[in-house]
Structure 1
């Protein structure tokens, strides 16, 4: 009963944080509010959540990484692959080695393997936190896509490095040759398992759906179970469950491109996954705050073992680690950008150097979040001989401090850096969207004509079918005509579309208000009202999406 109560309290705290974020309208990202609420729960409530690292890892990481892989724009991932790989692999390795050595030098009481583990766990970034911070300020789409791609891959690379560091801490030995071979097996095996599990499950459910029909509820449940299946099988085979979850998400996006799922399934499934993402990320930050008071007390004791007595040294450690992370990230971004510009000039391509503010913004955008906390909480409680894991509470506290301070720095710095910058308009995406709309409209006209002839053939009232089809096709022809315009005509057409969308939304809201009024007056039944409101909601989502 106590476990259920704790879960309900954590979920309630996540909901309250969302209400407070909207009501207060303060320039404070939601994760910080959730940490504060968690801290209040930890100080006031008479319980403390005891986290089992393996269970915590299993519950939170597979769905979050799976969803990141599923939803990340693949074209942008391929286009900026060199930049993303440089940040997600090169910068992670540099962070683990450089910051790990720095932490061990700064805190000798923390063993080198544990310092590397801490450096590995603070290397992944969190684009969700960046999105929350930059929601009030326009942020370049390409920059956001790079951050998303970096986060997707550095989650995996950082947590794989964490796995090796923990193994070294437990055994007391480390072999570069064995670690390299093990890394290849762990990485390749994890990716293969994620791909295979997702492909087999999707092939099976698609076959069943084609032959026996599709049930929306079971389809959604299958999508929820896939990341856990991939993760557990990979871990059973001693591969990376993290990479398996990421690969499963990427495979899911390619599998879903077939478009076989029903529209209702996609709409409801997206809603379910939005709730999962919101709840999982929120609970992680609330748990961070809830654990903070007890971790602070234990970490203070660890600091005294290093020869210090003032708990203020904890703040110094956190500030120093954040500064080291920021300097490394800025240096890596600057060198990578200079190298890319140099190669472009060698090829004869003229590329304008981005403003220094963008480079600094990329450095500040390296916010740590849910994955960092989830990873550090998986540090073992004891060593192989049964003795306590060295400096575990201190490592958890420092990771928490890095998360909080990086959130504060980004929430203050990003709006200042991005405010007033002239952001480029991504005309390529606008043109691509308009061309896709026109192509879809042409296909729709051809299909409507075919179905109209099929329905009207041999019917005495064939003119009714012709008139109905003509009205629908006129709307599609208007879309094609709008796409064919250029320059100011295209901009005017988009403005007209925006005005039309607002008018349609106003009409839909009036319809829905009337339906609810009729329901309250008992002039229509609840089932009828539910069906009509559902239709109106879907149409409104189409215009406001």
Structure 2
């Protein structure tokens, strides 16, 4: 391990350079990283990379899920909950069943249980790849929200399928009522445990004398505790991390101070950057291990099976995207839906083409044991499942990843007007916050305002009669009054986000960040 340390260090440098290149040529970085890893694996003398699936599941998956759930808008998640839920659960199950039937029919030696296992492995699209691609193209906010929401939940449903399929392959039997009870516990237990652990962390950080460093460390520890606690009682660790992170994210202003929020953002961006980069380059580097264990079937035949399963995944997702539209159009006659307008045929086409696979699929495939039981027979078709999974990941990342931006640009996206235009929303927030600030200062800090030049300048600024170039002269009393004004502005913005659905939460978060920066600046002034 020590001898290979320079190699791993050079991988980090290579990841940074490749992501810089990806940004320069406007290509999603997971595509470049997988290809680079694949090419590096053919260099003579390169250390053999053997990925421990527990390393990916335990070390990589919880923080990546936590970071994604922390960043997502709960308002958007709830607004599009039906289509997100259908893609994250119904479509994943439908995909797994279809893959099972096709594999059983076309791939020699594949039973239905083994096909279902393969379906559970390759059914969840990768969130990071889609997000990386959408950075370079403009898509309706609703599409980005649906993809982000789906990615938080589909890993859980696919791993549930995977767990049941493993039992069926190992035992040769599948008891439906036991599976239904286990499935229910995985869902309910995972969500409940995650929320409970999140609540404990929130209350602990709220009442204990922590500082920014401690709070940041606790946010890094939290997803691991959520995941491990849920897995220990055989519920869904993925759902535990997602539910716990959503709880903490939506209450961040209650238990994290300004310094903790600002420092945490910087730390988490760096952590997610490194972890995502390592995962995708390791996918490419793992090819020698995968191909070395491929026996009893030619490389060309195995590639053919991989391309067949990839085609099935693409077709099923496209069909599911259009089926979701049809079901929504029918359902709007009976229930309230997020949007009663028809999305046409463009949005489903793009949504159906965003099915790149990634880290969860590879980790699930690698976690298949070599033997059915200790000292027992070999696990059937394990190496072929691994190889097919690799072909699916590589093909979807390269083909769909490279063509998706072109497809989005060629298809003129409709304007749904889900939110106020950005300039109009900015003006609405600016005027509303100005009126609120002036009213609050006049009502609560009138006496201090009369004798503090600094607060008078702030007052004039919000009246629109002054720019931000004001002289800062703070007494303890004035500092306390201004910090109260900033905190009230923060609470006003949070309330506006909850009560005004026409305002994009990204704009609210930008103003909240500005308040945090201003508060931190004032606290640092002696």
TM range (shorter): 0.7 to 0.9
Q: For residue 242 of structure 1, what is the aligned residue in structure 2?
A: 238
Residues 429 and 103 from structure 1, CA distance in 2 versus in 1: closer, same or farther, beyond 3 angstroms?
farther
Residues 466 and 416 from structure 1, CA distance in 2 versus in 1: closer, same or farther, beyond 3 angstroms?
closer
Between the aligned partners of 2:389 and 2:50, the Cα distance in structure 1 is 18
Structure 1 residue 31 and structure 2 residue 30: aligned? yes
Following TM superposition, by how much is the alpha carbon of 1:144 offset from its aligned partner in structure 2, in angstroms?
1.1
Q: How does 1:76-225 map to 2 (within 5 A)?
A: 76-208=76-208, 212=209, 214-225=210-221
Between the aligned partners of 2:42 and 2:370, the Cα distance in structure 1 is 23
Structure 1 residue 261 and structure 2 residue 256: aligned? yes
CA RMSD after TM alignment = 3.2
Q: For residue 21 of structure 2, what is the aligned residue in structure 1?
A: 20
Between the aligned partners of 1:464 and 1:274, the Cα distance in structure 2 is 39
Q: For residue 276 of structure 1, what is the aligned residue in structure 2?
A: 271
SS at match of 2:342: coil
Structure 1 residue 292 and structure 2 residue 287: aligned? yes
Unaligned residue ranges in structure 2 (runs of 5+): 469-488, 490-516
Q: Is the 8 A contact 2:159 2:364 kept in 1?
A: yes
Q: Is the 8 A contact 2:347 2:413 kept in 1?
A: no
Q: Is the 8 A contact 1:13 1:286 kept in 2?
A: no
Q: Is the 8 A contact 1:445 1:476 kept in 2?
A: no
Between the aligned partners of 1:127 and 1:429, the Cα distance in structure 2 is 27
Structure 1 residue 445 and structure 2 residue 438: aligned? yes
Between the aligned partners of 1:351 and 1:373, the Cα distance in structure 2 is 39
Residues 449 and 416 from structure 1, CA distance in 2 versus in 1: closer, same or farther, beyond 3 angstroms?
same
Give the structure-2-normalised TM-score: 0.81
Structure 1 residue 320 and structure 2 residue 315: aligned? no
Cα deviation, 1:159-215, whole Å, max 9, x if unaligned, reads 11111112222333321111111111222111111110110111011111xxx4x41
Q: Is the 8 A contact 2:438 2:459 kept in 1?
A: no
Q: Is the 8 A contact 2:66 2:242 kept in 1?
A: yes
Residue among 375, 382, 388 paired with 1:392: 382
Between the aligned partners of 2:464 and 2:362, the Cα distance in structure 1 is 51
Between the aligned partners of 1:463 and 1:51, the Cα distance in structure 2 is 63
Give the structure-1-normalised TM-score: 0.78
Between the aligned partners of 2:88 and 2:27, the Cα distance in structure 1 is 27
Cα deviation, 1:196-235, whole Å, max 9, x if unaligned, reads 0110111011111xxx4x4111101100100100111112
Structure 1 residue 226 and structure 2 residue 222: aligned? yes
From the CA coordinates, give the structure whose radius of gyration is larger: 1
Report which of the two has the higher share of helix.
1
Between the aligned partners of 1:289 and 1:72, the Cα distance in structure 2 is 29
Q: For residue 52 of structure 2, what is the aligned residue in structure 1?
A: 52
Residues 392 and 477 from structure 1, CA distance in 2 versus in 1: closer, same or farther, beyond 3 angstroms?
farther
Q: Is the 8 A contact 2:460 2:466 kept in 1?
A: no
Following TM superposition, by how much is the alpha carbon of 1:146 offset from its aligned partner in structure 2, in angstroms?
0.7
Q: For residue 344 of structure 2, what is the aligned residue in structure 1?
A: 355
Q: For residue 464 of structure 1, what is the aligned residue in structure 2?
A: 453
Between the aligned partners of 1:276 and 1:71, the Cα distance in structure 2 is 14
SS at match of 2:9: helix
Following TM superposition, by how much is the alpha carbon of 1:302 offset from its aligned partner in structure 2, in angstroms?
3.8
Between the aligned partners of 1:398 and 1:229, the Cα distance in structure 2 is 33
Structure 1 residue 414 and structure 2 residue 409: aligned? no
Q: Is the 8 A contact 1:117 1:161 kept in 2?
A: yes
Between the aligned partners of 1:454 and 1:6, the Cα distance in structure 2 is 65
Structure 1 residue 403 and structure 2 residue 393: aligned? yes
Residues 75 and 478 from structure 1, CA distance in 2 versus in 1: closer, same or farther, beyond 3 angstroms?
farther
Q: Which moved more, 1:198-207 or 1:375-384?
A: 375-384
Residues 353 and 121 from structure 1, CA distance in 2 versus in 1: closer, same or farther, beyond 3 angstroms?
same
Q: Is the 8 A contact 2:449 2:456 kept in 1?
A: no
SS at match of 2:368: coil
Cα deviation, 1:357-379, whole Å, max 9, x if unaligned, reads 32211111122122222322222
Residues 176 and 312 from structure 1, CA distance in 2 versus in 1: closer, same or farther, beyond 3 angstroms?
same
Q: For residue 367 of structure 2, what is the aligned residue in structure 1?
A: 378
Residue among 402, 422, 428 paired with 2:420: 428
Between the aligned partners of 2:398 and 2:36, the Cα distance in structure 1 is 16
Between the aligned partners of 1:403 and 1:136, the Cα distance in structure 2 is 21
Cα deviation, 1:118-171, whole Å, max 9, x if unaligned, reads 211211112321232233321221111111111111111111111111222233
Q: Is the 8 A contact 1:96 1:123 kept in 2?
A: yes
Q: For residue 505 of structure 2, what is the aligned residue in structure 1?
A: none
Total equivalences in the alignment: 470
Residues 357 and 315 from structure 1, CA distance in 2 versus in 1: closer, same or farther, beyond 3 angstroms?
farther
